Amino acid sequence: MIARGQTLAALRQRGVGLTVDGVTRHHAVRATDDPRQVRDVEYLFLAVKQQALDEIGAHLAPMLAPQGTVVPAVNGIPWWYLPTLASPLGDAPLQSVDGRGILRRALPLERVLGSVVYIAAHAAAPGVAAQNARNNLILGEPDGSMSARAARLAGLLTASGLQCEVSDRIHQAVWIKAMGNATFNPLSVLAHATMEAMVRDPYLGRLARAMLGEYLALGTALGLTLPVTVEQRMQAAASAGAARTSMLQDALQGKPLEIDALVGALIEIAAKLNLDMPYANMVWGLVRHRNLNTVPLENQAQKITGDYT
C-alpha cells in the first residue's frame, strides 16, 4: 500500500484495519510512501481523491507488471470515461478531470479496468476503515468486453468477502452512481445532512429529485441507456440510513472538497451539450463557494475555479 503521514505510520505498525460490526481486524501489509519501491503490480487500485491523481499520475505505469491493470476506485466521472464512450462529445478531455492530460499521457487506456464502488465506510482512525453497510463492487471493461482479467479480479475479491460483479456496461453503471454523487454530496455539505435526512426532508427531497431528473436527462443526451428512475435513486439513498457522504466527512474535517470530479464534470458535460440544468447549476455555484471557506473573503474572487459553463 502507498500512503503517507499518520496513515503510513499506522500501516507499518499495525497493518491495515477493518472494523465490521464493532470488531476490528488488522492485516499485515507492505507500506511505503515511495511509488518507486513498488513494481510488477498485477492490479493497482487507485483509491485517492481526484485532486491527488495529478500528483501520482506519472508514477502509475512504472509500478505495473507487463500485463498489469489499473483499477480507478474513484467517485464521479473518471478521466477514462469520455475517451472510451461513443458519445456526441467524442473523446475530448474534460477540464474538470485530468484537465492537463497527465493521466491520459501517463497511462494507456487499455491498462484501465473500470469500477464502481458501493461501500459505505469511513476512516475511523489512521489506517483503519469502518464499514457501515453496503459492500458491493462493480468491475467492467471500458470497451464492454467480458475479459479474463476482470473475471480473475472479481473472483479474487469475492473470495475475500466483497460482493463483486462484472458488467459489460460500465459506463452506464458509473453514470448511475455519479447521478447520486452529484446530487447528495453537495446537498449534504450545504445542509449538513445525512443520506436519510436528505430523502426524508420535504424540501431537500424535492430539490434532490429535481437534480436527479436533470442528471438522468443529461445521461440520456450523452447517449446512455439508463435503466433507473429518480425514485429508485431516492430509495437507494434512503437505504444508506444515517451515513454521511464522503464530501460531508471532508467538510467536517476541514479538508478540500472533491467537487470537480463529483459535480463539476457533469456540469461541464451539460455545458458542452448546451443542456440547461438550473437546479444542478445553482447547487454547483453554492458548493464551489463552500469549498472556499478557508480563504479570506477579500481573496475568494481570485480563488474561484471550475467555471465550466
Q: How big is the CA angle at 269 (ends 78 and 216), to the nearest 5 degrees?
A: 90
Contact predicate 45/71, CB 8 Å: yes
**CB-based contact 198:205 (threshold 8 Å):** yes
84 closest CA partner among 10, 170, 186: 170
Active-site residue, from 177, 255, 272, 303:
177
Q: Cell triple for residue 228?
A: 433507473
Report the distance separating Cα 271 and Cα 124, nearest Å.
38
Beta bridge partners of 20: 23, 131
- On the CB side of 127, CA atoms within 13 Å amount to 25
Widest CA span of the chain, in angstroms? 55
CA–chain centroid gap for 173, Å, is 12
| CA–CA dist 190, 263 (Å, integer) | 14
Report the alpha-carbon distance of residue 35 to residue 39 in Å, rounded: 8
Beta-carbon contacts of residue 200 (< 8 Å; ≥ 6 apart): 238
Which three cell numbers mark 125? 482512525
At 23, list the grid cell: 470488531
Size of the chain, expressed as the number of residues it contains: 309
SS3 at position 120? strand
3-state secondary structure at position 66: strand
Annotated active-site residue 177? The verdict is yes
Q: Which residues are catalytic?
A: 177
